[in-house]
Structure 1
Amino acid sequence: MEFSTKDMHVWRMTAAVSWSILFQFMFLCLFIIITTIDVWNFDGFLAPFHSLFSSKCFYIIPLAVVIFFQGIICSRDYLKPPKAHFISQRYLILISLFSYQNMAALFVHILLGFTVSFVYSSLSNDRINSISVRCTSGELNFYDGICLNEKKFFLVLGGIWIGFYTFITDYIFQSRTLNFPPVQQHKFIRMQAAFFSCLKNSTIKAIVPSFLFCMLYYFKGNTPRSYFCSFADFYPPHYLLDTLFTLFDQELMIFLWLFTAMYLLMLDIMVILFNIHLTERAYFPITTYLLPSANKQFLFLQDALAKFDVPIIQHLGFLDLALLSEFDSQRRAELFTLSQPGGHPHSWNAISNECFKVIDKFTEELDKCIGVSQVDEDESYQDFTKPQISDHHCYQHSYRLRNLSVKINRDSESSPATTLQESYERLIKVYQKWLNDKVQAFCKKPVIAYFFGELSEPKIKHLLFQSHPVIWAVESLSFLTCKSLKEDAFGVAQKDLSKTIDSFLHLKNSLDKLQKQSIFIKKSNKLDLVDIQMKNALKFSVKQSIYRIAVYFKDYIKDVNFSSMDVLNQLLNFIDFKEV
């Protein structure tokens, strides 16, 4: 199916949000049945089914509205360019916590927690379905009035707390990346495989925030209760939840844990549905001729690979390229076809250039992270000083240039305006150098360097999180190059064989340097495990791709013009299977 960029985003994200709303409707119906059914009474047995077709079914409307806004927040996270997720300094991290999107996400999380607790508690028994109750004679001695139902207030406040807790612990410091499955399966099978694991994790994760909220309410619960009673003009209840005996009520604790688990399950299902729909394979057509951007009705594969500003499209483009390079001989033939008229390999040139661009860009940024940038700065500094040495050399060995320089100096001496301008420029340079030295010395102070210094480890984490296209680009070039021995009648892929091997070996050497760097510290937390997995997957893919080319082209390797003998020597190790 052929897509445009807008259609692909709209349909897939709409489907994810719609399925999430449908899941919540099923959970709501199941909750109504469980809480109202009476197996010992026939009329009570049919009561839940009457409730489903009554006004209770309309409680799904506020949930659907909040889930819709939650879907918008999730879609904006996945639509961001990769650089939008990366922050290299601690003070920028602190500033980013108060960005407009984070504030909107915080509001939606709190609103969703409030809505879940309020809706599900309103559908429960009479003890917690209303925020207010009629004061009894024991609670109000002189006259009847409206008192606060503190159990309902406790559960709703717990929903607000879990929204804030989830935003702080899971959303704001979590890198939201898509997990592409190694084998493409039907959406129903992927959802079925992930649902029960998600249900188990939600019930376990709900224990800690529920316990923390109980402790917080035990020490500070009287403050929000007093403010709410004053605002809503309610009388305080006679039996307050300010003792351990009244607070840790069995029914109250079960409902608090259940609503917290439902909230966490709702968020996890939203993430799973987005991941399932957005990582589904898309087929991009291949064109053998050049078209202006205004005349393109559909998104071609060449254009999808170049979508650096829309990472989802670029990921799907490289996934499609990786799969067709290995399994689809008919679409591979379109890549090896020359344009008519003209006889130019436009398709191969466009796609291979995008693959090389992604690989080389990743390798360059990885080299900078592991310290090569400092060498580049030293070289640039030496280049800056070379012209001064060259002028001095010409002045000593060339009589003609020396006389010319003397004449120029005399002319400059005869011009007071030129001499004043040169003095002013020299003064500016001296002041700039002094200022730069002071700034660098100030930035090297421990406290300043801690908050304003560049963090190398987040850079590497950011690169490894974005390495999916690099893996697919390496595998695609490797398979296409090897398949070209039998399928490429014009040799359009073999002309880039030397460039392909150079690019692969350069990336392999950079990954080897990363392995030796002490900056990449292995820890046991979740993010570092993902980093290690992505690094190992990338390194394995690069080595496997080089081995594949070495095996296919070992009889023709002497006919390839490499950039240096070092490249040939490294490739011979792969041919002899000496590289581990």
Structure 2
Amino acid sequence: MDPVATKDLAFRKICTERFVSSIYYCLLQQYLLVTIFLLFINFSILHPINWIIGTVRLLVSFYPWIASVPLAIAVVFHGIVLAKSCLLETRYHSTYCLKLYRNLIQRSILLLTNGTIGCLTAWLYTRFLRDEYRLLLLPSVNDDAMILNDRFVYLIVSGVFGGCYFFLRDQPNPGAVDFPIILLPKVAQYWNNLSSVLTRSMRKSVVGMFIYMSFYYTFSSLFRQRLASIFGGVRLQQESTLYSFCSIVTDVRLLVYTWLFSALILSNINLMHVLFRIFLAEPQTFRIETSAFQATDEPLLADALAYKQIPIVQQLAAEDLFAIAESQSFDRRKQLFALTVPGGHPNNWRKVYDVCMKLIVDFTHELDQSIGGIELKPAPPMVLMGGVLRPTASMDKDRFLKKQYNQNFGIRSLSTPTLATPNGGTLQENQAKSEAKAESKAIIFAMALKRIPGYDYLFTESKSAKSYYLLSVQSQLIVKMIQSVVAIASRSIYEDTYGVLQNDLPCIVHTLLELKKVVDKIGSINLDVKKVDRNYIALKGAVKKSLYRFTTAFGPYIKHLVIEPEDIKALQAFINFREV
């Protein structure tokens, strides 16, 4: 089999195992939320024993398992869509319109699955309520005809609205994974998120319930009439839309059910994202040693670091490299410093080093190019003891003399319009005039388009858009690599018995200093770093911390390293602990 295909299958297998585990626990989560719902609706403070026994009897009965099958199918399908979203390669979109176009299909499918989960969750929960909230059709009191149950329709539509509304409002990114600094067991991570998610969902559902009321009042006639026409001879419970809406709003029990449905639907969707993040952030140990005598399908750490098709694989590899660098046990670092047999070459370190340096250099180059067209920050006004410096009489006199000199010698200012030429020009001049008019019309039309509110936001690429993308998407990976490479280099003084890193130390220093120059440029231009404040500060701090760590470890030996004079001069501030 092709080596590239083998590596691709190995990386996809790592992700697939995590996705399957996430979907499995998402299914178990549905029964946890059903338990919370049953405990709430069957609450009885006077008979607590009967309350708990009745809830447990319902849970262990056969009916809830059968009724939850449609919801389980929807959850599995939604989990597959989330998994595909996590597998997508992160790309740069120059304009917001292009970003919407590229993500339209993915976002539409996620919106559909969220609405389906909301609808089926509401339908499942209504199975445990009274007939006036559980049945779609009710028998008429006056005759044998069937009438449409407005309360049931209100609850089902609230589920669809809740799933779609909260997805459009929050816009969660399934591919964004935050790796915890202190790794806790999966159960502890889930329970820590469970209470906060439930509390936040209950608070948000209050506002969402009132928004849904206005939505239902606006479109209720459409829902009710369409459902009545589908079932043929079914009549409406209330012909008047206003009277039907008033009867719903005055039903306190129905409003409580609506709020509870919205809270549990929002909690369900958010907790599914929590489960995906927990399993995707689970540490993965990659193979370091390369040997011609070992035939194994385990992927190499260097290959995982260079694998850009699935971003989560690259992040897992960076986390594994960071764990190798900072671990108190040097067993895996010993594999990095080892020589190959036969041959005696430092291939293990060379592969990891080449990949890390290439990624850092490419990131530095792209970040430098992205901020090249951004203007510098304006200089602050000169302030004297009496306030801001104002133009003096001599400055006004010089300006007046320059203007008078230009007028006397016929030097026209660029701000004044040109004099009109007499008519009767040649054919070429007329063609040039017509082309100039066409160009001016095109310019006027383009300027008119730009005056439309939102045009620049949708169709114009901002000068700082690429910088925001690099700092918000790629900087986390670079931070881990910088810290890992410098940590390994610092520990190599005592652990690298063969000296495999010594020739690479000058290149590491030069690469870090070049990145520091680019990061320092960001502070001197009009780039709103507040949008990426966390990532920018993390990158800036990681570069300085790594340089301090390098100079602390190699301070006594700096003169013996083959480092460029400019780099040695730049390192003096770190050697003397003067760089802030």
- Structure 2 gaps of 5+ residues are 1-6, 376-435
1:309 aligned partner, one-letter code: Q
Q: Structure 2: how far apart are the matches of 1:256 and 1:571?
A: 64
1:11 deviates by 1.5
1:459 aligns with 466
1:474–1:18 distance in 2 versus 1, CA, 3 Å:
same
Deviation at 1:96, TM superposition (A): 3.4
What amino acid is aligned across from residue 222 of structure 1 in structure 2?
S
In structure 1, what is the equivalent of residue 522 of structure 2?
514
Alignment of 1:254-333 (within 5 A): 254-289=256-291, 296-327=296-327, 328-333=329-334
Q: In structure 1, what is the Cα distance between the partners aligned to 2:352 and 2:258?
A: 54
2:242 — aligned with what?
242
Instruction: Return the letter of the residue paired with 1:131.
Output: L
User: Which residue in the other structure is 1:219 paired with?
Assistant: 218
Counterpart residue type for residue 188 of structure 1: V
Aligned equivalents of 1:550 and 1:537: distance in 2? 20
CA-CA distance at 1:290 after TM superposition: 6.2
User: How many Å separate the matches in 2 of 1:333 and 1:443?
Assistant: 66
Determine if the alignment matches structure 1 residue 133 to structure 2 residue 138.
yes
- Relative distance call for 1:578 and 1:442 in structure 2 (3 A) is farther
What is the match of residue 35 of structure 2? 29
* Aligned residues between the structures: 500
**Alpha-carbon distance change, 545 to 41 in structure 1, aligned in 2, over 3 angstroms:** closer
Deviates most, 315-324 or 446-455: 446-455
CA distance in 1, matches of 2:523, 2:260: 45
Paired with 1:443 and 1:350, the residues of 2 have a C-alpha distance of: 55
What is the CA distance between 1:170 and its match in structure 2? 2.2
Q: Which amino acid aligns with 1:550?
A: T
Q: Deviations over 1:425-483 (max 9, x none)?
A: xxxxxxxxx9xx99996997463672433234443332223322211100111111111
Match of 1:470 among 478, 484, 493: 478
Asked if 1:485 corresponds to 2:493, the answer is: yes
Identity across the alignment (%): 26
Structure 1 equivalent of residue 508 of structure 2: 500
CA deviation digits over 1:33-54, x for unaligned, max 9?
4434665498787444443313
Deviation at 1:104, TM superposition (A): 1.6
**SS state at 1:553 partner:** helix
Alignment of 1:178 with 2:186, yes or no, is: no
In structure 1, distance between residues paired with 2:128 and 2:490: 63
2:343 is the counterpart of 1:342: yes
Distance in 1 between residues matched to 2:220 and 2:492, nearest whole Å: 72
Question: CA 1:42/1:353 → structure 2, altered by over 3 Å: closer, same or farther?
Answer: closer
Which residue of the partner structure matches residue 105 of structure 1? 110
Instruction: Supply the distance in 2 between the matched residues of 1:370 and 1:144 (Cα, whole angstroms).
Output: 75
The answer (yes or no) to whether the contact 1:514–1:520 under 8 Å persists in 2 is no
Range with bigger deviation, 157-166 or 308-317: 157-166
**For residues 368 and 534 of structure 1, what CA distance do their matches in structure 2 show?**
19
Using the TM superposition, give the Cα deviation of residue 271 of structure 1 relative to its aligned residue in structure 2, in angstroms. 0.8
Higher alpha-carbon deviation: 442-451 or 189-198: 442-451
Distance 1:40 1:492, change over 3 A: closer
TM-superposed deviation, 1:30: 3.6
Aligned counterparts of 1:239 and 1:50: Cα–Cα separation in 2: 41
Matches within 5 A, 1:3-14: 4-14=10-20
AA matched with 2:28 = L
Segments of 5+ residues of structure 1 without an aligned counterpart are: 138-142, 375-433, 523-527
Q: Which residue in 2 is equivalent to 1:198?
A: 197
Say which SS state the counterpart of residue 517 (structure 1) adopts. Answer: coil
Aligned-partner residue type, residue 263 of structure 1: I
Q: What residue identity is the alignment partner of 1:305?
A: L
| AA partner of residue 469 (structure 2) | H
Report the residue type matching 1:480 in the other structure: I
Amino acid at match of 2:118: G
The amino acid that maps onto 1:183 is: I
Please name the residue that 1:388 is paired with.
Answer: none
Give yes or no for contact 1:474–1:542 (8 Å, CA) kept in 2: yes
Q: The residue matched to 1:466 in structure 2 has which SS?
A: helix
Residues 240 and 250 of structure 1: CA distance in aligned 2, closer, same or farther (over 3 Å): farther
TM-score scaled by length of structure 2: 0.80
C-alpha spacing 1:458/1:209, structure 2 compared with 1 (3 Å): farther
Per-residue CA shift, 1:48-75, capped at 9, x if unaligned?
A: 4443313233222112111111111111
Q: Specify the alignment match of 1:163 in structure 2.
A: 163
* Contact 1:325–1:332, Cα closer than 8 Å, also in 2: yes
CA distance in 1, matches of 2:195, 2:160: 26
Alpha-carbon spacing, 1:442–1:472, altered in 2? closer, same or farther (3 Å): farther
Query: In the alignment, residue 279 of structure 2 is paired with which amino acid?
Result: H
Is the 1:79–1:310 Cα contact (8 Å) retained in structure 2?
A: yes
Q: 1:92 offset after TM fit, Å?
A: 1.3
Q: Which residue of 2 aligns with 1:76?
A: 84
Q: 1:521 to 1:550 in 2, by over 3 A?
A: closer
Two-structure CA RMSD over aligned residues (Å): 2.9
Moved more, 38-47 or 449-458: 38-47
TM-score (normalizing by structure 1): 0.80
Contact 2:322 2:480 in 1 (8 A): yes
Q: Secondary structure of the residue that 2:152 maps to in structure 1?
A: helix
Residues 176-185 or 31-40, more deviating: 31-40
Aligned with residue 74 of structure 2, among 66, 89, 92: 66
Distance in 1, matches of 2:73 and 2:222, equals 31
Tell me the amino acid that sits aligned with residue 527 of structure 2: I
Residue 242 of structure 1: SS of its match in structure 2? helix
- Could you say what secondary structure the match of 1:473 adopts? helix
Three-state SS of the structure 2 residue aligned to 1:221 is: helix
Structure 2 counterpart SS, 1:158: helix
Amino acid at match of 1:286: I
* Amino acid in structure 2 at the alignment position of 1:361: D
- For residues 100-144 of structure 1, give each alpha carbon's deviation from its aligned partner in whole angstroms, at most 9, with x where no partner exists: 22222121111111111111122222221111111112xxxxx32
Give the 3 Å change call, closer, same or farther, for CA 261–89 of structure 1 in structure 2.
Answer: same
Aligned-partner Cα distance in 1 for 2:554–2:444 = 56
**AA at the equivalent of 1:577:** F
